[in-house]
Structure 1
Amino acid sequence: MTTDETLSSGSFNLILYAARQRGADSSALCRAVGVDSAVLQNPDGRVSIQAVQALWKEVIQMTGESDLPLQLGELINPLSLGVLSYVMMHCPTLGKAIEKLCHYQDIACEGVQTVGRLVGDRFHLSLTLTSKAIIYPDYTLGSELSMYQSAFRALTGLPVVAEEIRYAFPAPENQLAYERVFAPARLVFDASETVLILDAAWLDTPILNANPSLYALFDQHAGELLRQLRTTAEVPAALSVRVKQEIFTLLKGEEPALAAVAEGLAMGVRTLQLHLKEEGFTYQQLLDEVRHDLAVRHLREPNFSTTDIAYLLGFSEPSVFYRTFKKWTGSTPGAYRTAALRLTA
């Protein structure tokens, strides 16, 4: 166990949103736990687990509702966890979505390990705390399972219910709140592990409106985010590399602005431009490199439409993407794809 794990800014914002629904002042909460609002404006920003634990304490004190973590799945959109949600929304079945949830768990929260396993005709989704910074396991595990339950229902459009939920902490004073949120599941406290148990038949349930092409795009995007999150290079990366990584994380339907990238790197725009010049680059060059590399990668996959690729790369219109790609390569996206697929056939 370590104490340097983080939570995504998106997940932190969901807690703030739930707190606001119960009358709390989100700005006061951020000040109380020492979190800069600028970090929360970055979709791929990270907040320490320590700050999240402090936030739960402040939220409950401010609202007077000890069961607020359990209400999280009811108060917010359970499919608003950024790229992780996008991947799950386009999986073919609930079982595949849960598999991806387990694989990409760290993108949302590094302090909890989520693992699924079949036990006979039952599916066990177990949650294990991996961070010493988590001092309120009931808040953490209760909110996670509340979110999971709501997400499974939203993904399938069906009342997915657990048969049993075991918690690896003593029975809380607000046990009735657990019974209300997770009914009709049988609840067990002081268990050896925290685990949600489903009838395995639920795993074959189709996901509503899943798009295989978008699934592949978002899965690839999530994989890159996870790789970056787990990269712990001893030697600091060159600024140009860090800028390209920041551009990659911000490519979500619109062109990343230089100011947004500078903010994500905690630098001023002018300072960033000067340091890039020292390395022999301009921001536009790096943006073009990232877009070019991703475009080439996506065009080699036959199931990706060029419209989807244009959107993912932040182009305002597919026609702009076509013109830009031809400028880069001398070929249209369609012609490039045809040639690339012919070579791999």
Structure 2
Amino acid sequence: MTKVTFPQAVDTLSVGLLNVMLWATTQAGADYAELCQKLDLTPAQLTDPDARVPIATIQQLWAEAVRVTQDPHLSLHLGEKVGLGDIGILGYVMSHCPTLGAALNQLVRYQDVACSGVKLTVRREVELCWLDMAITSAAIIYPEYVINSEFSTYLTAFRALTGQPLAPRELHLAYPEPADTQEHERVFAPARLVFGTAQSSISFDVALLDLPIINANPVLFPLFEQHAAALLSRLRQPSLPDQVKHEIVDLLKGAEPTLATVADRLTMGVRTLQLKLKETGHTYQQLLDSVRHELACRHLRDAQFSTTDIAFLLGYSEPSAFVRSFKKWTGQTPGAFRK
């Protein structure tokens, strides 16, 4: 059996972006309370503007959202519905930059505050400016949805910031060309679309970087930027839930890690750990399920692992117990997920 590499941290995104998806899904008839229950979320988590949710959670929501809305192009349409406020503090930082170029630099700098599962870089050429995006999170199991929604969101944001109908020149998408590209052509018009590239990128005329941001307030910028910097710093320091997940991953090799074992490794009592996790809105079981869910999706994408192998790696005593858990998390069996 091939050596398994376990993740060392849990990638997260702003709760504001999750709320946009929940809103779009409930508008199409989904039951809000039922969705929250499926995603193991509480109303308190969804109303805190600085709250974070695992990327695995929104990936779980994608399949359900597409099914309920019956919109195969939901990932393209979602970006058209996202306002700057939905991006959270990052949107406010960009809103008070002097120019589009400065806003683009802040987007790259604070991207992790919105979503820590992708990495952005800027390339400047003589005539074009490229915004490159690389997916960095193993929790992202629907890269096409992420790429579409990210780029359509950026385009909507740039147009809102400048008050101009900015026209992208070229769009590179790192996934195979779909049978129907009409909606891609409409959303990103008049850009030339190229599918199946090594990385995903969008380009604009470099002169557009000098466009002023409408309604920018230089007095407010440092206030919002300071808050964004504090959030970014906090993200890069492992929280208690992240520390617990790290220990679970380290122990999850053929047996289910117990709360007592994890507490001992963190040099605290069981009751103390439970109380501290409760203060963050988590339970030990939720964190264990989250780690297992992410690892299960990763292993199922590797054809060399059987369901029995994966059940063992995730600490289940019987493959049937793993199958039941996976169906609870995703609504489908491991076999259906692989197809």
**TM-score bucket of the superposed structures, by smaller chain:** 0.5 to 0.7
Shift in CA distance, 39/264, structure 1 to aligned 2, threshold 3 Å? farther
Choose which of 78, 84, 103 in structure 1 pairs with 2:109: 103
> For residue 265 of structure 1, what is the aligned residue in structure 2?
280
The whole-number CA distance in structure 2 between the counterparts of 1:146 and 1:226 is 24
> For residue 15 of structure 2, what is the aligned residue in structure 1?
9
Matches within 5 A, 1:142-157: 142-157=148-163
Structure showing greater relative contact order (alpha-carbon pairs closer than 8 Å, 6 or more residues apart): 2
Matches within 5 A, 1:103-252: 103-232=109-238
> For residue 94 of structure 2, what is the aligned residue in structure 1?
88
1:120 positional shift: 2.1
- The gaps in structure 2 that reach 5 residues or longer are 1-5, 244-276, 283-339
The whole-number CA distance in structure 2 between the counterparts of 1:99 and 1:197 is 15
Quick check: 1:157–1:208 contact (8 Å CA) kept in 2?
yes
Does 2:52 correspond to 1:46?
yes
Amino acid at match of 1:182: F
Higher-Rg member (1/2): 1
Matches within 5 A, 1:242-321: 265-266=280-281
Please list the CA deviations of residues 152-185 of structure 1 after superposition, one character each: whole Å capped at 9, or x if unmatched: 0000000011101000111124422111111111
Quick check: 1:127–1:193 contact (8 Å CA) kept in 2?
yes
Amino acid at match of 1:194: S
The whole-number CA distance in structure 2 between the counterparts of 1:102 and 1:137 is 19
Quick check: 2:45–2:281 contact (8 Å CA) kept in 1?
no
The whole-number CA distance in structure 1 between the counterparts of 2:155 and 2:85 is 11
Amino acid at match of 1:21: Q
Please list the CA deviations of residues 282-326 of structure 1 after superposition, one character each: whole Å capped at 9, or x if unmatched: xxxxxxxxxxxxxxxxxxxxxxxxxxxxxxxxxxxxxxxxxxxxx
SS of alignment partner, residue 228 of structure 1: helix
> For residue 31 of structure 2, what is the aligned residue in structure 1?
25
TM-score (norm 1): 0.66
Quick check: 1:122–1:198 contact (8 Å CA) kept in 2?
yes
1:192 positional shift: 1.1
Shift in CA distance, 263/222, structure 1 to aligned 2, threshold 3 Å? farther
Quick check: 1:67–1:174 contact (8 Å CA) kept in 2?
no
Shift in CA distance, 85/263, structure 1 to aligned 2, threshold 3 Å? farther
Shift in CA distance, 213/187, structure 1 to aligned 2, threshold 3 Å? same
- Aligned CA-pair RMSD: 2.2
SS of alignment partner, residue 212 of structure 1: coil
1:106 positional shift: 0.5
SS of alignment partner, residue 213 of structure 1: coil
Shift in CA distance, 174/29, structure 1 to aligned 2, threshold 3 Å? farther
Matches within 5 A, 1:327-338: none
Shift in CA distance, 44/149, structure 1 to aligned 2, threshold 3 Å? same
1:82 positional shift: 1.6
1:224 positional shift: 0.9
Quick check: 1:153–1:159 contact (8 Å CA) kept in 2?
yes
- The gaps in structure 1 that reach 5 residues or longer are 238-261, 268-345
The whole-number CA distance in structure 2 between the counterparts of 1:228 and 1:50 is 20
1:233 positional shift: 7.3
TM-score (norm 2): 0.67
Amino acid at match of 1:111: G
More moved, 186-195 vs 164-173: 164-173
Identity %: 44
Please list the CA deviations of residues 109-152 of structure 1 after superposition, one character each: whole Å capped at 9, or x if unmatched: 01011111102221000110000111101100100111100000
Shift in CA distance, 51/233, structure 1 to aligned 2, threshold 3 Å? closer
Q: How many residues align?
A: 242
Amino acid at match of 1:82: G
1:74 positional shift: 1.9
Quick check: 2:17–2:87 contact (8 Å CA) kept in 1?
yes
> For residue 325 of structure 1, what is the aligned residue in structure 2?
none
